[in-house]
Chain A
């Protein structure tokens, strides 16, 4: 009897020891993590083995050796010098720059348009509020791809070069795009531009200091005289003293094409317009929700103190709305960038377009998909990083 008892007790002890080991939170966490890691690595290994086997079966060489080969791939728009004789690497670089350029301008313009429409939606002006709400409903609900086709079709319907619209002297609008004159570029222009950029920087700093000083001293002082000297007179003096020519490179319709000046292609223009108009609708809603997140009491307190509507917006509402606006705005910026990949549908040669053409020519699909992913990942992570830094700056100290 006692021997049996002892056995049972020993068994119970063992059971409790095992039980307490398995029910230990740290142990359980470790087991689940280990299982998850095992599943992940197992899948990756299986996929990689499969890929290797299939590539070997089709005699496809893998690797990035093709990047140095001649691309033989024409790209109509290039921000850096490019000919089809250049390498695949340079072609992909041109594609990436095209993606960056359209994404950059889309983000800037969509933010401006979206903010204006978002503010208008909260306006007490009935017509303004109604029009902006119609805008949002209309452009948010139609798929982006469809909108791109629409803009592209409209631009294609423009007259050919021979009957190009000529609204202002030197500006031509045709189915080849929008052409406008630029200065005949010389080194002196570079210095003038540099002077302008430096003066713009100085003006921004000066304006910031002036508005702070205006608060400190309590009296308004116009900063326009200084701004005009900095922005107009100094660059002009620099330009003239270096003898920068004022000759313009005028666009000239020649046969089926336009020579000279700068031409923005219908493809770029359609993509830009489509991305801006579509994303501005979303940004407007983000801005509106941010503005409306600031309670009525804040407006009332500010009005009771005698603040004017413009001051209430700048000093009370916007700073508080930003903490609500910035996180979803980051996602929207990522959507703009990724949405630019629809360029392929209307023939703008962005990274996706260049890479898919390269795929057809080289058969290096895996590597090129990797390149596309790498490009978008880099752009997206950079946007996220910048926006997170900004978000940390506008975050509210609660307690």
Chain B
């Protein structure tokens, strides 16, 4: 169990205010409000198509929101390229499908962005990459190519690659959904250890155990809206809406 962080005493890492987004006529985000404090761990869950992935992809502008305001680490997400550069330097992201660069070795995957974006010298970037690979417990795979690793190993490399940019905030977009069941644990363990170090994390995941263990707050989304939000204990223990009850019933049956 991790001690709860009191959001009021900490700086705001991500502030989302009245955000709306449409895909054509499909309204995918409806007036979403969400504040995440520095050091806070937020888990977002909800049925597929509820807009949870879209929401976190709006944070680093992989998707554009059309209305409302998103401020990340004090910088507004808008059409200013300098703002987007600054935000992406501070926000790491881990994808469902890993998205490692298949033509680069594990080590090169981890050193490319620090060298190109942060201007870190190669020896330093490599030392740092090796340190993070050690952290995700795959130091001996540094010179292999992603295609030579298992899914779980690839996802841990993806986490190390994001960490090499020394981000202040980490976004996880269903990081274990594409994994074989026996590999889910190794990835979750890595994420738990990251949470214990105080990283600000926003995770889209259905892993209830992970949410209970590390989340300061669980946010339940449905049809582009935040329906319920609160501590894992209250959200999972005393669901107030029928939509959440239905969702929990489905997820618990699966697991």
Contacts and interface: CB of A to CB of B under 8 A. Distances in A.
B121 A315 contact: no
B102 A307 contact: no
Interface stretch (A47-55, A99-107, A268-276, A298-306): A298-306
B147 interface: yes
Contacts of B113: 302, 305-307
Interface in A216-267: 216-220
A184 to B, nearest CB: 49
A399 B147 contact: yes
B122 A311 contact: no
Interface residues of A, number: 27
A218 to B, nearest CB: 4
Contact of B88 (A298, A306, A315): A306
Contacts of B147: 396-399
Contacts of A399: 145, 147-148
A391 to B, nearest CB: 14
B115 interface: yes
B4 interface: no
B103 A396 contact: yes
A218 B99 contact: no
Interface in A294-321: 295, 297-298, 300-308, 311, 315-316, 319-320
24 contacts: A215-B122, A216-B122, A218-B118, A218-B119, A218-B121, A220-B119, A300-B95, A302-B101, A303-B62, A304-B92, A304-B162, A305-B113, A305-B117, A305-B165, A307-B116, A307-B117, A315-B112, A315-B116, A320-B103, A396-B103, A397-B103, A397-B145, A397-B147, A398-B145
Interface string A359-399: 00000000000000000000000000000000000001111
Contact of A306 (B100, B102, B103, B117): B117
A298 B145 contact: no
A397 B120 CA distance: 27
A304 B60 contact: yes
Contacts of B189: none
A303 B115 contact: no
Nearest to B93: A304
Contacts of B162: 304-305
A355 B117 CA distance: 59
Contacts of B213: none
A128 B62 CA distance: 23
Contact of A297 (B97, B118, B165): B97
B223 to A, nearest CB: 25
Contacts of A398: 102, 145, 147
A177 to B, nearest CB: 46
Interface in B85-112: 85, 88-89, 91-93, 95, 97, 99-103, 112
Contacts of A319: 103
B24 interface: no
A216 B165 contact: no
Given A320-B102, A398-B145, A398-B147, A304 B116 contact: no
B112 to A, nearest CB: 6
A298 B62 CA distance: 12
B41 interface: no
Interface string B134-171: 00000000000101100000000010011001000000
B78 interface: no
B6 interface: no
B95 to A, nearest CB: 6
Nearest to A220: B119
B181 interface: no
Identify the 6 closest CB pairs spanning chains A and B, nearest first.
Answer: A301-B99, A305-B113, A306-B88, A297-B99, A218-B121, A304-B93
A217 B123 CA distance: 8
Given A216-B122, A306-B89, A306-B117, A316 B62 contact: no
A305 B88 contact: yes
Contacts of A311: 116
Contacts of A217: 121-122
A216 B119 CA distance: 9
